Every structure is written in C-alpha cells, then in structure tokens.
Amino acid sequence: MMKKLLTACVILVAVGTFAFAKGNSEPSDTGTAAGTGIGIVKTAYGSVSGVVSALYPDVTIFKGVPYAAPPVGDLRWQAPQDPKPWTGVRACDTYAAISPQYADQGAGSEPWKTDFYNWGEFPPVSEDCLYVNITTGAKSSNEKRPVYIWFHGGGLRHGWSYEPEFDGDTLAKKGVIVVSVGQRLGVFGYMSLPQLTKEQGHSGNYGLMDTIKAVAWVKANIAAFGGDPNNITLGGQSGGTTKAAGIVSSPLATGPQHGIKNMILESGVKWFDVFKDQAGGEADGQKYLTHLGIDTNASLESLRAMDFKVFLGKDTDDYVSNTPTNMINDGYSLKYSIMADAVDAGEWKGINILSGTNLGEAIDALKMTSAEFYDAYKKGLGPLYDQYDFQNLVKVTDANAADTFRTFATYGLNVNIGGSYSRCLMVNRVFGAYMKQVYGTSAGTYYSYLFSHFTPSRPEEAGTIRDVKNFWAWHSSEMWYAFDTLRQGVPPARPWTAYDFELAETVSNYWVNFIKTGNPNGPGLTVWPEADAGYQYLEIGDTVASRNEMEKIDQLMRDAVLTKWNIKLNK
C-alpha cells in the first residue's frame, strides 16, 4: 500500500483584483463559423450558433448559452427564472462572465491555474453568470449522444465553467456532449438571511437551485444539440462533486425526473457532507453583513440595490475567510442534515457512480515526529488503536512519520490533523459496499479509483507548493487526464512524457465509456471491477491495475471510517 513519492507541483502568482463585465445577454445575427459539425440550433428560447473547435473541425462549441435570466437587481438572492426569449440567431461565440470572485482566490489550492492563465487575462466577473457551454460532435439533432454535465471545483466560492483543464473538445470527439455550467457562487449563491426567509419561506441555496435549473434546461433542450435527454451524467471535481451530489439529493431534482443515470465524483464522494439548518445559515449571513459594516436589518430593497463589489469584502483573504459558502438544509431545496441521510432515503438509488481520490490530497504536507504520529492515532482511533495493536502494526521513524501519516490519510486513516474525509480512498471503497447493502438489486454500478500518477514538474518548481514533497498527485491534477487536455497551456509548457499522453488516452476512455453506459470498461483497457463487498478499486498511476487488498491495516481503515460515521456495514 505504501508508495515511493516521486514528482510534484508550483506556486501561484496572484493579483488580488477582479475585472467586471456586463455578461453575455444580447443576441446578434452572426452565424456559426465554418465547419463540418452541427449548425444553427433552436432552443426553447431562441436559436443559437456556435464556433468550430480549434482541434476538431467536426466539433462545435456553443459558448455562453443562457439557461436562466440574469440574477441581478430584484433577482439577486432569488430562485433562478427562465431566460427571456430572443429573435434571430444568438451568436454563442464568447464565454460569459463568471460569478464575482477575486483573481487570486483559491491560489493555494488550485495549482493548475498558472499553467493556463496569465493573471492579466483573468475572466471578467458579473452577477450575470447563468450560462452553459455546450461542446458537441453531433451533426444533427437526431443522434442521441450521451450528455456529460460538468460542475467546476473551487468549493462553492470560486472557479468557472470554462477552465481549459476541463475543455470538452476531446470527449466530444469521442462521442460525448459536454455541458459545463456557470452558477452563482459565494455570497451571491449561498447567502441566507431572515429577511430572505421571510420573503421566500427559505433562503441560502441559490447556487444549488441554479445548478438544478441548468440540469432542467439541458433535459429540455439538449436533444436539439444531438444529445440524449435520458442519458445524462453529472460530473464534478472537488466542490463540483458537492454540486452534483446536492442535485441528486434535492427534492427539486430527482434522478429519474432529469434523466440522471450516472455521476462522476472526482475528489469527493460527499457521503458525509454536513449541512447547517436554516437558522444556522441565517446567523452566518448576518455575521457576514456585520463584518462588512452593513445593518443586519437592512431591507432587501436596499441590499439588492448595493453594488455587488460591496459584498466581496476588502480582498481575497477577507472574502474567503468570511463569506457564506455552504449549502443549507432549508427544507425546500435540501431536506437533510447530512448527505448520508439522502443516500439512506434512496435519493441515489439506481444512479451509477464513479468516484475516487488522488494520492496526497486528503491532507497537505506536514511535519511530524514518530511520537506525534502515534499520539495522533491514539487520540484519533480511540479503542481501535489497542484493538489493532497499532504501535506494532505500523512502524515509523522520525524520518518517515509525516509521509506515512499523509499516505494513510489518503488511504483512509484521516484523524485529528484536519484534512478531508471525503477524499479518503477507504471512504470511497466502503461507499460501494454500503450502497450495494442499502439498495440491493436497485443499486447502480459503483467504481472507485486512486489516482497516484505524479504530474511532471518543472525545475523551477522545487521548493514551491508543487514540489514533490508537498503535493504528490496533487488535488485537481487528474482532470488533465480525464479530459485528455495535456495539450493545453501557456508557456512554459509542462514537460509531458509519452506515458502522460498514453495515460490521458486511457483515463479519458474509461470516463467516456462510463458516461455512455455506466460501465468504464472497454476494449484495450485494464479491467476495472465494481466496488462492492470486496472493496475493489482501480489504481491509476505509473501502471493501471485493479486492487482489492484488505490486509490488517486496510481493515483498520475500514473500521475507522465505519466508527467515525456510525455506519453499519455487513463485513
């Protein structure tokens, strides 16, 4: 189970500014660029034209297609409304503005950014951000291609829908229609206040409702782009998995209602996400207004009239540290206090799931002596420490205590020091067994993975946050391979190897097969077994191999997960 740690990751340059835009609201009469793909498409609200992919002449990209009205003015902190219909052909040749955020937001946790962007080119921001981007290789509206709706990461406070690491061109070339979704984030997507609750009967999950609205729009319109509205896969990375899981758990959007057949959850199965109640959300909202110097009893009319920049705080650190960014158990769009209750209630029944984690992302690098290592586990494991004779089961020295702790955190022993339980491999492995137990023959398929391949680093990255000692297979690095986008980037290019390109072809083929059928397996690929009571998973690293080890340390990891979350599992 233990791995030798070999490669790594880079410091980000940030500017702490944001650009503003009017959004992408007005249609024009410009037609599609020349190509061999689908032409003008008629949606329920008007006709749209796209642009031809720079990579494939038979792939068309529709950028900035509105799925809801701009949530500005009186629509700030309201459920998304239908877009206004238009006449003529709307030229969808430019990406829309992104939800308000700072350019350097998430700089420490999203290390891919400087591989693609010069910070002077940070996308414009605006509350007018409710648009989808559709990448399709279909030539007509009767092809019924599988649909992949993608939600970007960045928690619920930053990121955007057209980051090049999840560019959809290659997946579209392989037969999948990729739809990426812009939605309200941060204070604009998750503000809860007593005034709002009084007005609407609930408040806080506006970003979640945006994503549900987007899925409904796709269900109603994707056939015109050559897609199958009854074969939809929801996907996301990190915070994007929260969005996907929130959708299938919401009473506003059940799986069968929206044709959701599959989910891909990269870096977070979200089984144990906890949601505040309405009162807790309102308290957070009032606290943030107080922090900004705004009267907590201010009228909604006055709050909606304020410039959106007022709600971003003085700088990135201020915004990230204080803004409300959590989904809320509001009794309307969510009715559970923990995601596990949604699973138990049958909300995920019949949905095929592919989920996994990256080696090292469960917790950041840390310093630790052997004494601190054993002390952390003695406190964190409780009775399991002696039951498994932990000090004799696991032998560490001061030299390897920190790396062993971090490796264990990835595989399933994440105790006491923080980190993310949703990114533990054992949580993913146990979830497969649990889903089969709870749903029986009504369960969908479930496939788990560990991405352990180290993305090539540059010489100048030594000592930065991409150094091998810090990031290993760092958070979000799998997306280059899942979408096969290694070609992307601004100089200096990452020194991709022949194996990187081979692995990207392999991983993207697994993903495409799963999107098409709910099963990632296919010709020429290593067999990926379903994860069930055998706790199987696929390791995607320097080799690609199926695993199902359940040695004593693995059994301890399983029991630690079950104990922490009081899960009853037939072993």
Tokens of 304: 């909606």
Characterise 277 by phi-psi region: left (phi > 0), alpha (psi -120 to 50), beta (else): beta
- Non-local (6+) Cβ contacts of 548 within 8 A are 529, 534, 535, 536, 537
Helix residue ranges per DSSP H, 80-185: 169-173
Nearest to 327 by CA among 393, 243, 255: 243
Q: How far is CA 197 from CA 184, 187, 193, 300, in A?
A: 18, 15, 6, 11
Gap between the Cα atoms of 453 and 494, Å rounded: 15
What is the rounded CA–CA span in Å between residue 145 and residue 222? Answer: 9
Q: How many helices (H) and strands (E) does the chain have?
A: 19, 18
* Measured distance CA(206)–CA(327) in Å, rounded: 9
Rounded to whole angstroms, the Cα distance separating 60 from 71 reads 28
Rounded CA gap, 228 and 5, in Å?
A: 43
Q: Give the pairing type, strands 177-181 and 260-266.
A: unpaired
Order of strands, edge to edge, in the sheet holding 46-49?
41-43, 46-49, 89-91
227: its two tokens:
């897609």
Alpha helices in 180-328 (DSSP H): 186-190, 194-200, 206-221, 239-249, 255-258, 278-292, 300-305, 316-322
> Is the Cβ–Cβ distance between 449 and 354 less than 8 Å?
yes
Residues in Cβ contact with 423 at an 8 Å cutoff, skipping those fewer than 6 apart: 267, 268, 357, 358, 361, 362, 410, 475
Q: At residue 149, what are phi and psi to the nearest 5 degrees?
A: -95, 120
- Sequence-distant (6+) residues with CB within 8 A of 136 are 37, 38, 59, 60, 62, 145, 172, 177, 178, 225, 226, 227
479 SS3 class: helix
Q: Residue 89 belongs to what H/E stretch? A: strand 89-91
Identify the CA nearest to 131 among candidates 27, 214, 205, 242. 214
The CA distance from 518 to 44, in Å, is 29
Known catalytic residue at 420: no
Give the C-alpha separation, 353 to 265, whole Å.
8
Peptide bond preceding 124 in cis form (omega within 30 of 0): no
Catalytic hit among 53, 99, 109, 238: 238
Beta bridge partners of 274: 338
Give the residue numbers annotated as catalytic, written as ranges. Answer: 238
